[in-house]
């Protein structure tokens, strides 16, 4: 339960440190060393690539992404973390475009023109 909570709040180190200690205690040093290197690479990719990739995406509130990830996880498991967030984000943007009466491509153009007018 504690490790699941740590994974949800993005505290990967709290999950990986006990896992690495367990592997060192139960497996050979070679396997444990490979696992440790793999954990370091994955941890760095998670902390470096995730902000870069998420920063380029559409402007969707964090609450929508979070609810999509949690709902997707409950419905489909680990794959649902990604699928749920994507589906809910796309649905959010499409519903906003529908309510405004613009298409998704025109919506970004309207946002850009609105920002120029207000400056």
pLDDT tens, residue by residue, 59-80: 788 888 888 888 888 888 888 8
pLDDT at position 119 is 47
Task: Report domain extents, the chain.
Answer: 1-55, 57-119
pLDDT at position 22 is 93
Residues in contact with 47: Cβ distance below 8 Å, sequence separation at least 6, in sequence order = 12
CB 89 within 8 A of CB 68: yes
Residue ranges of the chain whose pLDDT lies below 70: 1-12, 47, 49-58, 102-119
**pTM value > 0.85:** no
Using CA atoms, how far apart are residues 58 and 31, in angstroms rounded to an integer?
A: 41
pLDDT at position 25 is 94
Q: For the chain, how many helices (H) and strands (E)?
A: 6, 0
């Amino acid at each position: 339960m504690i490790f699941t909570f740590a994974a949800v709040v993005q505290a990967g180190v709290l999950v990986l440190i006990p896992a690495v200690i367990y592997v060192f205690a139960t497996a050979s040093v070679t396997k444990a060393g490979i696992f440790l290197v793999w954990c370091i690479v994955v941890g760095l990719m998670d902390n470096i690539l995730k902000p870069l990739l998420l920063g380029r995406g559409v402007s969707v509130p964090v609450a929508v992404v979070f609810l999509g990830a949690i709902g997707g996880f409950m419905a489909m498991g680990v794959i649902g973390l990604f699928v749920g967030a994507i589906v809910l984000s796309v649905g959010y943007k499409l519903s906003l475009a529908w309510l405004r009466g613009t298409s998704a491509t025109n919506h970004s153009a309207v946002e850009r023109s609105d920002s120029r007018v207000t400056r």
